[in-house]
């Protein structure tokens, strides 16, 4: 059985030299960590996005200066900065040239190319940190193997090709040294740089683990694992030591910001255990996500997602007429609107929109879709709602689950309750202003020790 571990360090974990040193200690402590995936240093991707968004050359230079500063701050703390100075200079020079010759607006291909610099810089620096601490290490350009389609900004990895390329180009290198590589970025078949979407480094790490048939992926971040709810909402929140793939996937989808939602897919396909921990406090343990877990409690966690829009579509004329739902969903799908929660009655449908993948193009699709629905239904739109998701096991069949919930939240106005479709979650909408209090109250009731 493989013992290979892939360790991924997020932006805050590689924010500066001291943070990188803590990560190097984690890597050095385990011989089986052979592949290290890094994010861009904290703040760098945002600055790169700023460069792509503004048409003002001065603003682009200001953002560039910020990136240069973060980079040089690490470089200057190295024992042998000259070992990587040329490489860093080359990368910064390339980025600067893209600013100088950028024109007024960047193409989507250029945007991805620009956004790739954060990970390309941090991986060079982190490799040197490892080398200086005595580990054999090599910086590897992930674009040689992370083959994606050409959907810039949210490229889809090509799993089979990634596995083949990794076996040829990456696997043999692991014998002699550790490999440091970039999260978030890839390349299409024309060798154009692509990105997997914001926060995509977790996903990269899991994809590489799948390609290399690793035993474990470690996601090192700035929180000590996954909590029963956002600790900012209640001091009762506790770290979950072990959680199943299914439950963790629901949590990621319903707004727990610890993991990129797609991360668990490759891990589930290959049954690779995922560990989430804090690079600041590795001794504090963390959360293990795996297929088989010892306990399957009815309540595992509560997630809160703000700013939801509820759309109710009603058509009295449709009473007993077939095809109403089809017509509603057909309209939405033609406008490329993805629906999140749904409840229905004979003549009405209430639904929330999936705003997770909401780009500005997406939101501009909403109004035309609603106009089209208005040609055959009454449409009402309610904003300012929060989605509360209770995540756990056998929620669809456990006796008393809704009773417990309703009695706790007696005085709260709940909208759109979804219960029964998934055994791992029960969710409902409340007013945004009630959200935090609802979570706190519910947590106290469901997780009281």
Q: Please identify, using beta-carbon distances, which residue of 186 and 199 lies nearer to Mg ion.
A: 199
Sign of CA dihedral 276, 277, 278, 282: negative
Got the DSSP string for 21-58?
A: HHHHHHHHT-TTEEEEEEPPPTTHHHHHHHHHH---HH
Q: Which of 5, 10, 162, 266 binds Mg ion (CB under 5 A)?
A: 10
Window 34 to 63, contacts with ligand ASP (CB under 6 A)? 39-40, 45
Q: Counting contacts by CB under 6 A, is residue 286 touching ligand ASP?
A: no
**218: CB partners within 8 A, 6+ apart:** 5, 6, 7, 8, 33, 274, 275, 276, 277
C-alpha span between 404 and 122 (Å, rounded): 49
The yes or no reply on residue 184 touching ligand ASP (CB under 6 A) is: yes
Binding site partner of 225, from ligand ASP, Mg ion, none, Cβ cut-off 5-8 A by kind: none
116 binds, among Mg ion, ligand ASP, none (CB under 5 to 8 A by kind): none
User: Which are the contacts of 99, defined by CB distance < 8 A and separation ≥ 6?
Assistant: 51, 57, 60, 61, 64
435 interacts with, out of ligand ASP, Mg ion, none, CB within 5 to 8 A per kind = none
96 binds ligand ASP (CB under 6 A): no
| 373 phi and psi angles, rounded to 5 deg | -60, -35
Q: Which CB atom, from 122 or from 386, has the smaller least distance to ligand ASP?
A: 122
Q: Which does 200 bind (CB under 5 to 8 A by kind): ligand ASP, Mg ion, none?
A: ligand ASP
Tell me how far apart the alpha carbons of residues 133 and 149 are, in angstroms, rounded to a whole number.
38
Beta carbon of residue 62, minimum distance to ligand ASP (angstroms, whole number): 19
Please report whether residue 277 would count as binding Mg ion according to CB under 5 A. Answer: no
Which residues are annotated binding-site positions for substrate? 45, 119
Structure tokens at 139: 């910086």
Task: Write out the two tokens for 234.
Answer: 């209640």
Whether 287 and 226 have beta carbons less than 8 Å apart is answered as: yes
Scan residues 187-206 and list those touching Mg ion (CB under 5 A).
199
What is the pattern of x (binds ligand ASP, CB under 6 A) and - over residues 190-219? --------xxxx------------------
Exactly one of 11, 157, 277, 286 binds ligand ASP (CB under 6 A); that residue is 11
Distance in angstroms (rounded) separating the CA atoms of residues 449 and 439: 16
Interface residue with ligand ASP among 51, 64, 74, 118 (CB under 6 A) is: 118
Render 248-284 in DSSP notation, one character per residue: HHHHHHTT-TTS-GGGHHHHHHHT-EEEEEESS-GGG
Number of residues binding to Mg ion, judged by CB under 5 A: 2
Q: Confirm or reject binding of residue 183 to ligand ASP (CB under 6 A).
A: yes
User: Per-residue contact track with Mg ion, 220 to 259, x per CB under 5 A?
Assistant: ----------------------------------------
CB of 198 to Mg ion, least distance (A): 8
Q: How far apart are CA 407 and CA 404, in angstroms?
A: 5
Residues near ligand ASP (CB under 6 A) are 10-11, 39-40, 45, 118, 183-184, 198-201
Residues near Mg ion (CB under 5 A) are 10, 199
């Amino acid at each position: 059985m493989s013992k290979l571990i892939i360790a991924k360090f997020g932006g805050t974990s590689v924010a500066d030299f001291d943070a990188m040193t803590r990560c190097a200690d984690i890597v050095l402590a385990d011989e089986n960590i052979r592949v290290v995936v890094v994010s861009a240093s904290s703040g760098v991707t945002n600055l790169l996005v700023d460069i792509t968004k503004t048409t003002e050359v001065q603003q682009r230079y200001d953002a560039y200066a910020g990136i240069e500063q973060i980079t040089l701050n690490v470089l200057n703390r190295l024992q042998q900065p000259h070992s990587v100075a040329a490489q860093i200079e080359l990368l910064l020079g390339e980025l600067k040239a893209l600013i100088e010759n950028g024109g007024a607006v960047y193409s989507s291909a250029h945007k991805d190319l620009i956004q790739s610099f954060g990970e390309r810089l941090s991986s060079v620096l982190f490799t040197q940190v490892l080398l200086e601490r005595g580990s054999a290490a090599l910086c590897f350009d992930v674009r040689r193997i992370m083959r994606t389609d050409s959907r810039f900004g949210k490229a889809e990895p090509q799993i089979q090709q990634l596995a083949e390329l990794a076996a040829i180009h990456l696997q043999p290198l692991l014998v002699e040294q550790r490999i440091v590589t970039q999260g978030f970025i890839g390349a299409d078949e024309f060798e154009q740089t692509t990105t997997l979407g914001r926060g995509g480094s977790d996903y990269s790490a899991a994809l590489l683990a799948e390609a290399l048939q690793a035993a474990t992926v470690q996601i090192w971040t700035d929180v000590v694992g996954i909590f029963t709810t956002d600790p900012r909402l209640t001091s009762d929140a506790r770290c979950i030591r072990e959680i199943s793939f299914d439950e963790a996937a629901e949590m990621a989808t319903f707004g727990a910001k610890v993991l990129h939602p797609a991360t668990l897919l490759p891990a589930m396909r290959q049954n690779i255990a995922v560990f989430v921990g804090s690079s600041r406090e590795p001794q504090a343990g963390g959360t293990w996500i795996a297929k088989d877990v010892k306990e399957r409690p009815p309540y595992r966690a509560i997630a809160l997602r703000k700013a939801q829009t509820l759309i109710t579509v009603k058509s009295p004329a449709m009473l007993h007429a077939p095809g109403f739902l089809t017509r509603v969903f057909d309209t939405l799908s033609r406008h490329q609107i993805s629906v999140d929660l749904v409840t229905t009655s004979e003549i009405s449908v209430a639904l929330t929109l999936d705003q997770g993948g909401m780009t500005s193009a997406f939101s501009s699709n909403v109004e035309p879709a609603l106009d089209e629905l208005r040609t055959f239904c009454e449409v009402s739109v309610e904003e300012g709602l929060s989605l509360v998701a209770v995540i756990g096991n056998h929620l669809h069949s456990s006796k008393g689950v809704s009773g417990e919930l309703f009695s706790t939240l007696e005085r709260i106005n709940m909208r759109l309750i979804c219960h029964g479709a998934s055994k791992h979650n029960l969710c409902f909408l409340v007013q945004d202003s009630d959200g935090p209090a609802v979570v706190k109250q519910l947590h106290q009731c469901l997780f009281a020790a």
